[in-house]
Amino acid sequence: MIMPCEKMQEKIADYLLGILSKEESDSLAEHISSCTDCSKYAQALQNENSLLLQLGEKLDADMTIRQDKVIEAIKNHSPSTRTKVFSIGRIIMKSPITKLAAAAVIIIAILAGLPFLNNGGPGIALADVLEKIEQTRAYMYTVEMKITGSMFPSAQEQKMTTIVSDDYGRKPNTGKTTTQESYILPEQKMIVTIMLEKKQYNRMPFGEEFITIIKQQDNDPREIIKKIMACEYTELGRSVIDGVEVEGFRTTDPASLSASSASDGDPTSTELTLWVDAENWLPFRSERDIKYGEKKQISSATYDYRWNVPVQASDFEPVIPEDFKPFPTDGMKMPGMTEADGDGIEGLKLFAEITGRYPKKLNMMDLLQEIKAIDFLNLPQLIEKIDELKKMSQNSEISEEEIFDTILKTTMDIMRPLQSIGFFYMTLVTDKKEPVYYGESVGPDDADKVLLKWKVSDDQFRVIFGDLTTEDLTAEQWKEFER
DSSP code per residue over 352-376? HHHHSS--S--SHHHHHHHHHTS-G
The per-residue pLDDT string of the chain (483 residues; one tens digit each, 9 = 90 and over) reads 334 676 676 677 666 655 566 777 778 888 888 887 777 777 765 654 444 444 334 433 443 333 344 334 434 444 433 333 333 333 333 333 333 333 333 333 333 323 333 333 344 588 888 888 888 888 998 888 888 888 777 777 878 888 888 888 888 775 555 667 788 888 888 888 888 888 888 888 887 777 666 655 546 788 888 888 888 888 888 899 998 999 999 999 887 776 555 555 678 889 999 999 988 889 999 999 988 888 888 898 999 999 998 988 888 888 888 999 988 888 888 888 888 766 889 999 999 999 999 999 988 778 878 887 887 777 888 888 877 777 777 766 677 777 777 887 888 888 888 888 888 888 888 777 889 999 999 999 998 899 999 999 888 999 999 999 999 988 888 887 776
Query: Is 80 in contact with 41 (CB distance < 8 Å)?
Result: yes
Residue among 238, 224, 45, 237 at smallest CA distance from 130 = 224
Task: Note whether 119 and 88 are within 8 A (CB).
Answer: no
Round the CA-based radius of gyration of the chain to a whole number and report it. Answer: 29
**H or E segment to which residue 231 belongs:** none
Strand pairing partners for 244? 241
Bridge partners (DSSP) listed for residue 275: 248, 285
**Residue-level pLDDT at 83:** 38
Angle at 448 (CA atoms; ends 442, 451), nearest 5 degrees: 35
Contact 316, 165 (CB under 8 A): yes
C-beta of residue 145 within 8 angstroms of C-beta of residue 128? no
Burial 398-422 (b: 16+ CB within 10 A, else e): beeeebebbbebbbeebbbbbbbbb
Measured distance CA(433)–CA(458) in Å, rounded: 10
Q: How far apart are the first and last CA of the chain?
A: 57
- Kindly write down the DSSP assignment for every residue of 278-339, as one continuous string: TTT-SEEEEEEEEEETTTEEEEEEEEEEEES----GGGGS----TT-EE-TTTTPPPPP-SS
User: How long, in residues, is the chain?
Assistant: 483
The pLDDT value given to residue 467? 93
**Cβ atoms of 247 and 278 closer than 8 Å:** yes
Q: What is the pLDDT of residue 123?
A: 47
Q: Name the 3-class secondary structure at 446.
A: coil
Contact between 253 and 196 under an 8 Å Cβ cutoff? The reply is: no
- Looking at residue 432, its pLDDT comes to 79
Separation CA 153–CA 130 (nearest Å): 39
CB 451 within 8 A of CB 465: yes
Residue ranges of alpha helices (H) inside 35-125 are: 36-61, 67-77, 85-94, 100-111
DSSP state, residue 122: P
Parallel, antiparallel, or unpaired for β 200-205 and 436-437? unpaired
Phi, psi of 163 (to 5 degrees): -110, 130
Contact 389, 407 (CB under 8 A): yes
CATH superfamily, region 129-326: Lipoprotein localisation LolA/LolB/LppX (2.50.20.10)
Q: Quick one: pLDDT at residue 51?
A: 43
Residue 147, φ and ψ in degrees, nearest 5: -120, 125
Where are the chain's structural domains?
A: 4-122, 129-326, 344-482
Give the number of C-alpha atoms closer than 13 A to the C-alpha of residue 137, restricted to the C-beta side. Answer: 6
Helix/strand number for the chain, H first, E second:
15, 16
SS3 318: coil
| Closest to 132 (Cα-Cα) out of 123, 141, 140, 124 | 124
